[in-house]
């Protein structure tokens, strides 16, 4: 059997850096090729191979897949919810064409597996707010959400029609300290830590009682790898799995940070991202992930807050 050789596309981004490092620990540094449109992230330098790659350039992508003997692709290149609303055409183009390029090559080259993340952004105002189930009314209102929902059905299509083993998670908002977030509505929950440590105050762009599904990056990386390593016959969802870690509001996270930095204060001034956040569920029912491939989160709000502050202080 061919040895695993992984290509991570979008490796210099918020998830890409940590996922690449996580995959390199398991598969060996040389067997995980990092790639991105932008320059190699400093944290990746010296840890394994890096190629400059535009996922929109299908020929070049195809050449790299053949040249590097790639057997699996993790596609992370995308435009997220807040940035997407500023340039809907570009967000649709990248998020759709990037996926279709990868899926075509996966089919032609008979790749073993593909990973592509979806998002809680597929859900819209008509979806249930609390414990939003795997299958429900899904009417997204952002271009990002529309592109993710369409992408889920392309994944399902390529699996059913061509047998591509593509797997996907609907990530909640992800919180991390290693690499900066890329323009999402949930980015406040990262900014707040930096401002708490540096300025002791933060102006939040969401209202204090805006509850959203969230997850610590360590859990998200583990979920991704566990899903990808699960036997194929355990995977019953070929669109994208709901995934849950925790749910909190800006007021909750501010109160948790104050336990560590008592002088920290937060003010609230919502902007266009409030409407995006209000359209998403407050919490997610991920019982299908738990049943199919044994998902269980480790971090709650208190554990995540402590770990974030400890690590940011070290930085
Ligand atoms: P990010 O913006 O931090 O990283 C995306 C990376 O893709 C960037 O490094 C960017 O340079 C690269 N990229 C952009 N266009 C490219 C192109 N044409 N070719 C190659 N690379 C290109 O995003 P992220 O937060 O790491 O998200 C990764 C994936 O996870 C996305 O699909 C996103 O929708 C999904 N997701 C993220 C979150 C989250 O909270 N971060 C939540 C849900 C889903
Ligand atoms: N964190 C992401 C965003 O806010 C959710 O997909 O866009």
Task: Kindly tell me if the per-residue pLDDT of 73 is higher than 60.
Answer: yes
41 pocket-lining for ligand 1 (C-beta < 6 Å):
no
Which residue among 33, 76, 84 has the greatest number of ligand 1 atoms within 8 angstroms of its CB, and so is best to mutate?
Answer: 76
CATH number at residue 93: 3.40.50.720
Task: Kindly tell me if the per-residue pLDDT of 244 is higher than 70.
Answer: yes
The predicted model gives 51-62 an average pLDDT of: 98
184 pocket-lining for ligand 2 (C-beta < 6 Å):
yes
68 strand-pairing partners: none
Task: Kindly tell me if the per-residue pLDDT of 1 is higher than 70.
Answer: no
Query: Could you tell me the pTM of the whole model?
Result: 0.98
Q: Say if residue 201 is in the same domain as residue 155.
A: no
Q: Say if residue 271 is in the same domain as residue 122.
A: no
Q: Say if residue 191 is in the same domain as residue 237.
A: no
1 inside domain: no
In terms of residue numbers, what domain contains 306? Answer: 174-214+245-284+298-314
What pLDDT was estimated at residue 3? 84
Q: Say if residue 179 is in the same domain as residue 37.
A: no
192 inside domain: yes
Q: Which of the following is catalytic: 50, 144, 241, 299?
A: 144
CATH number at residue 278: 3.90.25
292 inside domain: no
Q: Say if residue 105 is in the same domain as residue 178.
A: no
103 pocket-lining for ligand 1 (C-beta < 6 Å):
no
The predicted model gives 57-69 an average pLDDT of: 98
Q: Say if residue 232 is in the same domain as residue 275.
A: no
Question: Using CA positions, which residue lies closest to atom 2 of ligand 2?
Answer: 184
Q: Say if residue 13 is in the same domain as residue 162.
A: yes
User: What is the whole-number distance in angstroms between the Cα of residue 282 and the centre of ligand 1?
Assistant: 23
Q: Say if residue 236 is in the same domain as residue 272.
A: no
Q: Say if residue 163 is in the same domain as residue 270.
A: no
87 inside domain: yes
> pLDDT confidence of 11, banded at 50, 70, 90?
very high
174 strand-pairing partners: 215
Ligand nearest to the Cα of 13, by number:
1
Cα torsion for 54, 57, 59, 60, to the nearest 10°?
Answer: -20
224 inside domain: yes
Q: Which long-range contacts (CB under 8 A, 24 or more apart) does 308-314 make?
A: 308/175, 308/177, 308/193, 308/216, 309/193, 309/196, 309/197, 309/257, 309/260, 309/261, 311/177, 312/177, 312/193, 312/194, 312/197, 313/197
User: What is the whole-number distance in angstroms between the Cα of residue 293 and the centre of ligand 2?
Assistant: 24
Which residue among 149, 170, 184, 245 has the greatest number of ligand 2 atoms within 8 angstroms of its CB, and so is best to mutate?
Answer: 184
Ligand nearest to the Cα of 122, by number:
2
pLDDT digits (tens, 9 = 90+) for 294-308: 999 999 999 999 999
Residue where the block lists tokens 């210099």 = 12
268 inside domain: yes
**Two tokens, residue 89:** 């055409």
Q: Say if residue 310 is in the same domain as residue 166.
A: no
Q: Say if residue 206 is in the same domain as residue 236.
A: no
Is 50 annotated as catalytic? Answer: no
118 pocket-lining for ligand 2 (C-beta < 6 Å):
no
Task: Kindly tell me if the per-residue pLDDT of 2 is higher than 80.
Answer: no
Between 122 and 180, where is the model more confident? 122
User: Closest ligand 1 atom, CA of 56?
Assistant: 18
Mean of per-residue pLDDT scores for the chain: 97
305 inside domain: yes
Q: Say if residue 162 is in the same domain as residue 306.
A: no
The predicted model gives 70-76 an average pLDDT of: 98
Name the domain count of the chain. 2
């Amino acid at each position: 059997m061919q040895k695993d050789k992984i290509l991570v596309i979008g490796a210099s981004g918020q998830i890409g850096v940590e996922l690449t490092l996580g995959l390199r620990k398991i598969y060996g540094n040389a067997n995980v090729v990092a790639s991105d449109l932008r320059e190699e992230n400093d944290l990746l330098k010296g840890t394994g191979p890096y190629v400059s790659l535009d996922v929109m350039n299908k020929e070049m992508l195809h050449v790299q897949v053949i040249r590097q003997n790639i057997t699996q692709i993790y596609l992370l290149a995308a435009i997220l919810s807040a940035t997407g609303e500023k340039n809907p055409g570009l967000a649709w183009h990248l998020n759709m064409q990037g996926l279709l390029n990868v899926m075509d090559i996966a089919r032609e080259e008979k790749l073993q597996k593909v990973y592509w993340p979806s998002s809680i952004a597929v859900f819209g105002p008509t979806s249930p707010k609390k414990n939003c189930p795997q299958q429900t009314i899904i009417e997204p209102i952002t271009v990002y959400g529309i592109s993710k929902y369409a992408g889920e059905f392309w994944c399902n299509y390529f699996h059913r029609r061509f047998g591509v083993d593509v797997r996907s998670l609907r990530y909640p908002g992800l919180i991390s300290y290693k690499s900066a977030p890329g323009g999402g509505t949930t980015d406040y929950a990262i900014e707040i830590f930096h401002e708490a440590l540096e300025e002791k105050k933060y102006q939040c762009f969401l209202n204090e009682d805006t509850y959203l599904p969230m997850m610590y990056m360590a859990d998200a990386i583990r979920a991704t790898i566990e899903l990808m390593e699960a036997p194929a016959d355990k995977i019953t969802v070929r669109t994208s799995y709901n995934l849950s870690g925790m749910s909190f509001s800006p007021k909750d996270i501010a109160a948790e940070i104050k336990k560590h930095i008592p002088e920290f204060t937060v003010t609230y001034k919502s902007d266009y991202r409030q409407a995006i956040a209000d359209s998403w569920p407050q919490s997610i029912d991920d019982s299908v992930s738990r049943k199919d491939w044994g998902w269980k989160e480790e971090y709650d709000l208190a554990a995540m807050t402590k770990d974030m502050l400890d690590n940011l202080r070290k930085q």
